[in-house]
Amino acid sequence: MELETVSTNRSHGGKQGVYRHASLETGTPMTFSVFVPDHKEGVRLPVLWYLSGLTCTHANVTEKGEFREACARHGIIFVAPDTSPRGDDVPDDEAYDFGKGAGFYVDATQEPWARHYRMRSYIERELPEVVAHHFPADMARQGITGHSMGGHGALTLALRNADRFRSVSAFSPIVSPLECAWGVKALTRYLGEDRAGWRQYDACALIEDGCRVADILVDQGTADGFLEEQLKTHLLVDACEKAGQPATVRMQEGYDHSYYFISTFMAEHVGWHAARLRA
């Protein structure tokens, strides 16, 4: 549980920190950021997890997400992990959509990826224990959100752990990795050829297979260049409608895939989670 403080900054009446620890799951050092609003001594605050997308680290949302004012106002801790293991000994790929920066929030079973690429277990089990130990987090009140590959991670983690996450939202998520090139490439190389084993990492498949959460909020830009070929938002809409899974999917006119889009709607998402994370 030893934690190294990389940096801290005062912001919006709270502390924005970046931290590093030795992960047993990935076998590497892992860096993550945490924003903790000012609060009364002894008070424990709800936690909102944010999972980033392809090529990103914790730094993208920490520097560009514009979440701190809303988190300070609602009294929410904001945790942003990395997207994959890092280090010279970690296998990688030349393509941007696989390897480092593209862990897809799975536990890899195929070599050479299986040793280090265990982002599912890292996010589901190990990092929550670290956060609970070092920060004033109320782990009975957790929400999760994410962007693109991280939106896929947020949806699938919440659907698999509905007893843990009271709320889930996403920005331009990959809703069905089984049905897009990004997902097929990643799941084949991390997990092997058996597509039945992929279903636990596909939000639409999980909903089809009976997983449920109280509600889902998704924002998707209509000018997103990845919408038609990779994100396929309509598949999530169809799966939720067929299963009776409550979901609000908002197509935001003219917005793209960038943090200009995410930061525009971030405060709304924080507020939406806050309403569901109140005691």
User: Which region holds residue 81: left if phi is over 0, alpha if psi is between -120 and 50, else beta?
Assistant: beta
- Selecting among 116, 147, 152, 257, the annotated active-site residue is 257
SS3 state at 138 = strand
Q: How far apart are CA 80 and CA 32, in angstroms?
A: 6
Beta carbons of 236 and 218 less than 8 angstroms apart: yes
Q: Which among 208, 153, 162 has a CA at the least distance from the CA of 183? A: 153
- Selecting among 107, 202, 219, 224, the annotated active-site residue is 224
What does each C-alpha distance from 223 to 134, 201, 220, 226, 240 come to in angstroms?
41, 26, 9, 9, 23
Q: How many CB atoms lie within 10 A of CB 71?
A: 27
Q: How far apart are CA 85 and CA 103, in angstroms?
A: 8
Instruction: Establish whether 169 is a catalytic residue.
Output: no
What does each C-alpha distance from 246 to 11, 108, 115, 238 come to in angstroms?
35, 31, 37, 12
Instruction: Establish whether 148 is a catalytic residue.
Output: yes
- Selecting among 23, 52, 84, 148, the annotated active-site residue is 148
Amino acid at 7: S
Q: Find all residues with CB under 8 Å of 275, minimum gap 6, and list them.
A: none
Instruction: Establish whether 224 is a catalytic residue.
Output: yes
Q: How many CB atoms lie within 10 A of CB 221?
A: 26
Look at strands 248-252 and 217-221 and give their pairing: parallel
Q: Which among 76, 131, 79, 135 has a CA at the least distance from the CA of 276? A: 76
- Provide the annotated active-site residues: 148, 224, 257
